[in-house]
Structure 1
Amino acid sequence: MDETKTINKINELLEEHNVWRKKECLNLIASENVTSPEADRLSVSDLSHRYAEGKPFHRHYQGLGFVDEIEALTQDLMKNLFRAKKVDLRVLSGTLANAAVFKGITNRGDNIISSSIPNGGHVSHTQHGICDVVGLTDYAFPFDYDEMNIDVDKTIKLIEEKNPKILLFGASLFLFPHPVEELADTAKSHDAYVMYDAAHVLGLIAGGRFQDPLKEGADVMSSSTHKTFFGPQGGIIFGGDSLGDEEWKNIENAIFPYFVCNHHLHRLPVLAQAAYELSQYGSDYADQTIKNAKTLAEELHTFGFDCLAEHKGFTQSHQVVLNVEKNGGGKTVAELLEKNNIILNKNFLPGEKITKENMNNPAGIRIGVQEMTRCKMKADEMKHIAELIKKAVVDKKDVKAEVVEFRKNYTEVGFC
């Protein structure tokens, strides 16, 4: 190996990637976003070189006095933004946030009720992921396919039958608010904790939109910090008013030493900056994001795409979901669009059975508008994106050059 050629090649690839994704692509992955220039500036500091174990002002390492203050102030910003009394910033992803909560408030052999993967659930909510690691048995929420949401009446019966330790709301395919308030009392009357995975909608919640899980009865809220919440890659856990001090302490003790030692300190100033930006611009950002998603869905529907939940206005979040089975399936469509610089992902659809045949090519695609919204796109731009998708998928036209030219006008980050 020629090490010099290798590192030069890596530098070339990085620059090519930066230009391609930041200046030439329509980024419609529902789990991504971009940070502001100020957040980018804060991400490069001596904190990248430092190590910490434990909570602020109670570390196992020296030399962290300034870090302690930064972390404590960031905690305050997040508590204020989400009206929460407890917060822990140390988890490094949404999955690890879920793992720490599971470990902290359940025992092996307990049951959990969450959304199945086709109905929107994240793999960490199931026995295909973290549930298996911590010894939980998962049962799927009954789903109302007309309403595209959890079936409340059937869930009450399932709670009575299975006596879960956790009722876990939130999803990766997430069009409408979940019935937290409608089910919280029943869950708690059966000694179950109400948990909400806000990873996809945390930025909308910060803007006062979608729903307010902690106010609606959630005991604990887990999340990542880089989807609709436009912060650094990482995780977070909030404790609600109803969560006892002992349970919160158990969650904190599960974070370290079970799942995190050093918690990547360079994230903290970036997280603080994102929280500040959302405190100032969050309501406008959330409103525009939801409006853009609705506009995109309506226009795609007009072009003949099978867009889920038409009778409910398609969506109340950042997401739009299409059944593209007639167009060749999710993988086929996603790969075709990638060749045209339109980036999104394949997805199972609610009610779809997972088989060997469709494992790699499910019926759906999931679209998220939050990143392009942050790049100052509005309704007219959503209509143009729908037209570009139609040209590529239905008309089989090459629209790559048109996409590149269109994206040139939207490279600045807004809401900051």
Structure 2
Amino acid sequence: MRATESAQGIVDEAEGIIDGVTRSDGREVAERTDAVPAGEAWSVDRVAHMLERLTSDFVLDNTYREQHLSLTASENYPSKLVRMLGGGLQGSFYEFAPPYASEPGEWSFPDSGANASLVAKLTGLGQQLFEAATFDWRPNGGSVAEQGVLLGTCARGDGFVHFAHKDGGHFALESLAGAAGINTYHLPMVDRTLLVDVDRLAVLVAEHPEIKLVILDQSFKLRWQPLAQIRAALPEGVFLAYDASHDGALIAGGALPQPTLLGADAIHGNTHKTIPGPQKAYVAFRDADHPKLKSVSDWICPQMQSNSHAELIAPMYVALSEIALYGHDYARQILANAKALAGTLHEEGVRVSGESFGFTETHQVHIITGCASDALALALGDLARAGIRTTNIEVPGSNGLHGLRLGVQAMTRRGLREAEMREVARLVARVVLRRAEPTAVRTEVAHLLQNFTLDRLAYSFDDHIGSPAAARLLGEVFR
């Protein structure tokens, strides 16, 4: 079979699959069309039809985003400039330069100078926002970043400590540690306060001298952990890492402390949660001469990745620039919105985790509902049909109970403030507690959101998208 025939067959097969897809409400997404014989050139009309069908998918998704309350704690709305720049640099050349001085080799490529310039801009801004001496933009996700930290600091027979899943620990470390022969230990917690028990941690590390890494990797995160006390309890040779995937913008915006100033050797995280950027990640070291810098960096790339998607350097830079300019107000509004959401849910009778410390100190709010199946049914069933997007979790400190993890960062970017978040809480309570008809709530959700469009996001450069400077930039992007 010729290559063109093979490619055409793949296209036809994919279109057949698409034709069979239906919406969740049972309506057909697209009408079935006759396949083009293998090798036959596509006509102008057929290309136009293909583009129209592709457009319908984007219309479907944009309408969904406009009409739904996004209360997931792990997503956000990137600004128009961030989205547009992701298509720049013509798909991008390779860029692999590590965050330490290195000699040219087989991972070095000729460069127009643009990649090096963009990396310098992004690196400098990342160092500034996270009080760090290095900033490695190359990880393609938060899991790669933390796995690079694990493999770069621990060898076979060593041990590391992180949060257990029931306490919000991330899923990406334990299976890798097991395969690499690295022993896993869990941070001791005080369930009532959801804080690390520092005294018990000191005993754990003293009893297991093979421990080389302590990583604070909570995904279900309501509180700031006592980082300075944790550092003081650890021997000098134990590497302390802070995962800021969820609260990165709160740290960069000054609403939470800087981990590197409190003793963390490195801070790492992704850039699409409270930081409203592309799906990328970073690792930033406090000390540019840290003995583990090279090993961590090399595990990330080239050992775990052979492509760091350099086309996302520019959108990362713009997303962090928005945090640099608007982060102070954005971070504080996130905290105020989370408090308003949690407090009103509690007033409505919903069981909200963390009453002893005011429910939340981050962008997250945790609702306790009962068993895992009930929580999943709420997230994917009634709440989804009501136009409320969220996810289910095992709630930390609840003795194995499950519930919902809500996040306010996306709706804060959309412009909602405390008054609107209290209304959001009432809508959530009607579904979760009073079992209101989801379609009726969905109408109210759409009504609430009609004045908070995605066309002009708060705390973003969207107001500048029509400026001469932006027009010139985008002219080059799409040249």
Residues 136/328 of structure 1: CA separation in 2 closer, same or farther (3 Å cut): closer
- Listed as ranges, the matches of 1:12-411 within 5 Å are 12-21=56-65, 23-55=66-98, 58=104, 60-125=108-173, 127-128=174-175, 130-163=176-209, 164-189=211-236, 191-241=237-287, 244-325=289-370, 329-335=374-380, 336-351=382-397, 363-397=402-436, 398=438, 399-411=441-453
Asked if 2 retains the 8 angstrom alpha-carbon contact of 1:232 and 1:267, the reply is yes
Q: What's the counterpart of residue 27 of structure 2? A: none
Q: Which amino acid aligns with 2:217?
A: G
The two structures, once aligned, show a CA RMSD in angstroms of 2.1
Paired with 2:221 and 2:149, the residues of 1 have a C-alpha distance of: 21
Q: Which amino acid aligns with 1:113?
A: V
Paired with 1:46 and 1:122, the residues of 2 have a C-alpha distance of: 34
Q: What's the counterpart of residue 357 of structure 1? A: none
Structure 2 unaligned regions, length at least 5 = 1-11, 19-49, 461-479
Paired with 1:183 and 1:278, the residues of 2 have a C-alpha distance of: 28
C-alpha displacement of 1:321: 0.4
Q: State the structure with more CA Rg.
A: 2
Asked if 1 retains the 8 angstrom alpha-carbon contact of 2:145 and 2:282, the reply is yes
C-alpha displacement of 1:63: 3.5
2:392 aligned counterpart, secondary structure: strand
2:184 aligned counterpart, secondary structure: strand
1:413 aligned counterpart, secondary structure: coil
1:335-392 Cα distance to aligned partner (Å, 9 max, x none): 22011110000000125677xxxxxxx6111000000001111000111101111122
Q: Which amino acid aligns with 2:127?
A: K
1:288-307 Cα distance to aligned partner (Å, 9 max, x none): 00010011000000011110
Q: Which amino acid aligns with 2:309?
A: H
Asked if 2 retains the 8 angstrom alpha-carbon contact of 1:52 and 1:261, the reply is no
Normalised to the residue count of structure 1, the TM-score between the two structures is 0.92
1:254-298 Cα distance to aligned partner (Å, 9 max, x none): 222211222111211111111111111111101000010011000
C-alpha displacement of 1:172: 0.3
Residues 11/132 of structure 1: CA separation in 2 closer, same or farther (3 Å cut): farther
Q: What's the counterpart of residue 458 of structure 2? A: 414
Normalised to the residue count of structure 2, the TM-score between the two structures is 0.80
C-alpha displacement of 1:395: 2.4
Asked if 1 retains the 8 angstrom alpha-carbon contact of 2:217 and 2:242, the reply is yes
**% identical equivalent positions:** 28
C-alpha displacement of 1:2: 6.8
Paired with 2:170 and 2:15, the residues of 1 have a C-alpha distance of: 41
Asked if 1 retains the 8 angstrom alpha-carbon contact of 2:163 and 2:218, the reply is yes
